[in-house]
Amino acid sequence: MDSRADFLVVKGRTLRLIGQQNLLDLTTGSMPGKGYLGQKTVPLLQQIILYPLDTVSILEPGYRGSCGHRTDRLVTVRRTASQDECLVAINAGFFNSLTGACLGNIVSDGLIIQSSGGIQNAHFGLTKDGYIFTGYPSKTDLLNLNFTQLVGGVIWVIKDGVVNIDHSIQAECPITQETGETGRLEGTMNIFANAVSGRTILGHDAQGRVHLLEVDGKTFKYG
């Protein structure tokens, strides 16, 4: 597993962006962070996708169908991105670190790869009707909303322009993430949400542009 920070690391669904360079606004920089023994500067990589409905895809790790074949082998984002003509790629959905199994609802290019079975965690999706979906999709939503792309995460960070972390900690299922004490679920969502770590955030603005934010890090060490 490659440990460098340029869109590599771990087995997960990957976003594929296809098109001309002017479809993307790629910036790098830093932002002030606080809560980690005071304040510090956090390196931040941001990508803005101007036409997400035409250019963003969710890819299974490594190859099509891999989510249906459990394995403990990890696949880098770089390898996953090589499936297609990717301009930018990030690791997206969560996975079981023991079995390698993909977690959450997954829809890739209109194909339902798997259902979460009703487990509630934050999801991001695109629909055939041209809508961007954020939130908690039900089993019925998975079948009826005509998703072209859908991927799950943990913690709905911002809802309607307001920080939503505290509510998400209470509302979401803790078993999708593995931060905290092994074999114990109680309190682990708080640990996950507050731990120093690498982070990837996927969202959109009022203009319908998709924003990818990535902070490099290692859980409990830096981020």
pLDDT along the chain (223 residues), means of 10: 28 40 48 53 81 88 77 74 81 79 89 88 93 92 93 91 91 79 60 83 91 83 76
Q: Which two tokens stand for residue 205?
A: 């603005």
At residue 82, the pLDDT reads: 82
Kindly give, in sequence order, each residue whose CB lies less than 8 Å from that of residue 207, ignoring residues fewer than 6 positions away: none
C-beta of residue 187 within 8 angstroms of C-beta of residue 26: no
At residue 182, the pLDDT reads: 53
At residue 125, the pLDDT reads: 94
Distance CA 189, CA 187 (A): 6
pTM over 0.85: no
Q: Degrees (nearest 5) of the Cα angle 153, 148, 76?
A: 50
At residue 192, the pLDDT reads: 83
At residue 2, the pLDDT reads: 28
C-beta of residue 92 within 8 angstroms of C-beta of residue 122: no
At residue 10, the pLDDT reads: 29
At residue 181, the pLDDT reads: 56
- Strand-pair category, 158-159 with 199-204: unpaired
The strands making up 106-108's β-sheet, listed across from edge to edge, are 111-114, 106-108, 147-152, 123-127, 132-135
At residue 179, the pLDDT reads: 75
C-beta of residue 107 within 8 angstroms of C-beta of residue 145: no
At residue 148, the pLDDT reads: 95
At residue 15, the pLDDT reads: 47
